[in-house]
Homo-oligomer: A and B are copies of this chain.
Amino acid sequence: MKLPKEIEIIEVCPRDGFQNIKTPILTETKIEIIDKLVDCGFKWIEATSFVHPKAIPQMADAAQVLKVVKKKHAGRVGFIALAPNLFGAQRAIEAGADAITFVISASEKHNLENTRQTIEQSVAAFTEVCKIKSDCKMRLAVATAFDCPFAGKVDFMHVISLVEAGLAAGADEIILADTIGTATPLQIEALINPLTQKYPQVSFILHIHDTQGMGLANVVTALNLGVTRFETAAFGLGGCPFAPGAAGNIATEDLTNMIHKMGISTGLNYEKILHVARHIQEKLGVEPMGHLSRIASCQG
Interface residues of chain A, those whose CB is within 8 Å of chain B, are: 1, 3, 182, 184-186, 189, 210-217, 219-221, 245, 247, 250-251, 254, 257-258, 261-263, 290-292, 295, 299
Contacts and interface: CB of A to CB of B under 8 A. Distances in A.
Contacts of A219: 217
A184 B261 contact: yes
A90 B215 CA distance: 43
A217 B259 CA distance: 12
Given A1-B186, A245-B299, A247-B291, A213 B212 contact: no
B216 A291 contact: no
8 contacts: A1-B189, A182-B261, A185-B258, A186-B261, A210-B213, A212-B257, A213-B213, A214-B258
Given A186-B262, A214-B216, A216-B216, 7 more contacts: A182-B261, A184-B262, A186-B261, A210-B213, A212-B254, A212-B257, A212-B292
A163 to B, nearest CB: 22
Contacts of A211: 291, 295
| Residue of A216, A245, A290 ringed by the most chain B CB atoms within 10 A | A216
A3 B184 CA distance: 13
Contacts of A210: 213, 291
